[in-house]
């Protein structure tokens, strides 16, 4: 299970209605999420850099939770980023600590949605004003998610909104944020790859599917070693597949996978090991029965597309 950490930056959290309700809902719906209230932890702005770096290193999903103040976050979060995201740690030479981690900005604005657009009172969309946070994610090679943000979150008794309406909007905000977090922390890359191979790739291979179905999952440097014969990239695979189609009779091919194991490597890389048996009939009526030990290298893109970078197949002697 992946870990999510919320960096809460609200200097007046005890007076808050919206952010307090959002954190309460996170605690209720995802009790294993760590909430680090940096305004409370560091009231003097003396950030414990090593402790915060450790917390981020141990997290797969990082959420910045804050109220929208003067078109950005409260000062404590900016100071936190300045101190914690050090050169050589978050970016620059050997600055790989945050690579591949998910970043979600979650913010609550007092003004209405109509205020934040060209021609509105604040002239710019909030997503435009959040560009420095997005660039921070890109600089650290994190995975940026569209911000979760809500409007009309300011409650001034007797003047502006009501406590009930603000808390209701905060509950909806929290539900959206939790759904995004759960979609990441409860997602198993290993099971996703297994499902792709068993329910997409090999059934398509049984059907001798069109080349485009397969090459969509390759790069220009994908490498295939199929029992000692090397093929490279799209052209190589197409050459191999066209040769298969000339020999095997459609409707007779059956792939059976056993001993399938997916091992997580660095960043987005995975190593897949399996035993593959292929039975088919040739156009000449010959029965084919081949078993191979397979080693595949597979990456997952940010939008969860499976990319095969290498396939090594070695025939098992009967």
Which phi and psi angles does 20 have, rounded to 5°?
Answer: -65, -40
Locus of tokens 């591949």:
100
Q: Which residues is 270 bridged to in the sheet?
A: 264, 298
Which of 66, 75, 56, 60 minimizes the C-alpha distance to 23?
66
Q: For residue 176, give both structure tokens.
A: 């959206």
pLDDT in tens, 273-305: 999 999 999 999 999 999 999 999 999 887 889
* pLDDT of residue 266 exceeding 90: no
d(CA 280, CA 288): 5
* pLDDT of residue 1 exceeding 80: no
pLDDT number for residue 180 = 96
pLDDT number for residue 267 = 67
Whether the Cβ atoms of residue 226 and residue 157 lie closer than 8 Å to each other: no
pLDDT in tens, 147-182: 999 998 888 787 777 889 999 999 999 999 999 999
DSSP H helical ranges for the chain = 18-29, 38-41, 49-57, 75-84, 126-129, 131-139, 163-185, 189-196, 202-206, 211-215, 233-247
Q: What percent of the chain has pLDDT over 90?
A: 86
pLDDT number for residue 118 = 94
Which of 140, 138, 264, 278 minimizes the C-alpha distance to 206?
278
Neighbour-count burial of 10, counting CB atoms closer than 10 A to its CB (0-12 exposed, 13-18 middle, 19+ buried): buried
- Average pLDDT for residues 24-43, to the nearest whole number? 97
* 3-state SS assignment for residue 290: strand
d(CA 23, CA 64): 12
pLDDT number for residue 141 = 94
Question: Binning pLDDT at 50, 70 and 90, where does residue 112 land?
Answer: confident
pTM: 0.77
* 3-state SS assignment for residue 147: coil
* pLDDT of residue 26 exceeding 90: yes
pLDDT number for residue 318 = 61
d(CA 24, CA 167): 11
pLDDT in tens, 201-226: 999 999 999 999 999 999 999 999 99
Question: Binning pLDDT at 50, 70 and 90, where does residue 190 land?
Answer: very high
Write down the mean pLDDT value for the chain.
94
Which of 288, 286, 282 minimizes the C-alpha distance to 248?
282
Structure-derived torsion over alpha carbons of residues 188, 65, 90, 179, reported in degrees to the nearest 10: 10
């Amino acid at each position: 299970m992946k870990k999510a950490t919320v960096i809460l930056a609200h200097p007046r959290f005890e007076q808050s209605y919206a952010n307090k309700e959002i954190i309460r809902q996170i605690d209720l719906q995802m009790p294993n999420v760590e909430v680090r209230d940096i305004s409370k932890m560091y009231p003097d702005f003396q950030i414990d850099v090593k402790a915060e770096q450790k917390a981020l290193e141990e997290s797969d999903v990082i959420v910045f939770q804050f109220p929208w103040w003067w078109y950005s976050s409260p000062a404590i979060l900016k100071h936190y980023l300045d101190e914690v995201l050090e050169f050589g740690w978050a970016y620059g030479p050997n600055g790989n600590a945050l690579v591949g981690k998910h970043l979600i900005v979650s913010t609550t604005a007092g003004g209405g949605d109509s205020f934040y657009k060209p021609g509105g009172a604040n002239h710019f969309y909030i997503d435009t004003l959040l560009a420095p946070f997005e660039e921070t994610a890109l600089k650290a090679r994190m995975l940026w998610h569209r911000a979760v943000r809500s409007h009309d979150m300011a409650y001034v008794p007797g003047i502006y909104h009501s406590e009930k309406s603000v808390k209701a909007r905060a509950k909806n905000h929290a539900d959206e944020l939790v759904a995004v977090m759960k979609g990441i922390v409860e997602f198993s890359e290993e099971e996703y790859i297994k499902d792709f191979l068993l329910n997409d790739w090999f059934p398509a291979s049984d059907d001798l599917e069109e080349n485009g179905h397969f090459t969509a999952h390759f790069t220009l440097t994908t490498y295939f070693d199929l029992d000692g014969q090397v093929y490279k990239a799209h052209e190589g695979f197409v050459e191999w597949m066209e040769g298969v189609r000339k020999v095997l009779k459609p409707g007779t091919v059956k792939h059976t996978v056993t001993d399938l194991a997916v091992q997580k490597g660095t960043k987005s890389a995975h190593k897949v090991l399996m035993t593959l048996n292929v039975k088919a009939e040739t156009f000449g009526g010959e029965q084919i029965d081949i078993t191979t030990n397979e080693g595949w290298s597979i990456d997952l893109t940010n939008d969860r597309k499976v990319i095969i970078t290498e396939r090594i197949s070695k025939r098992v002697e009967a």
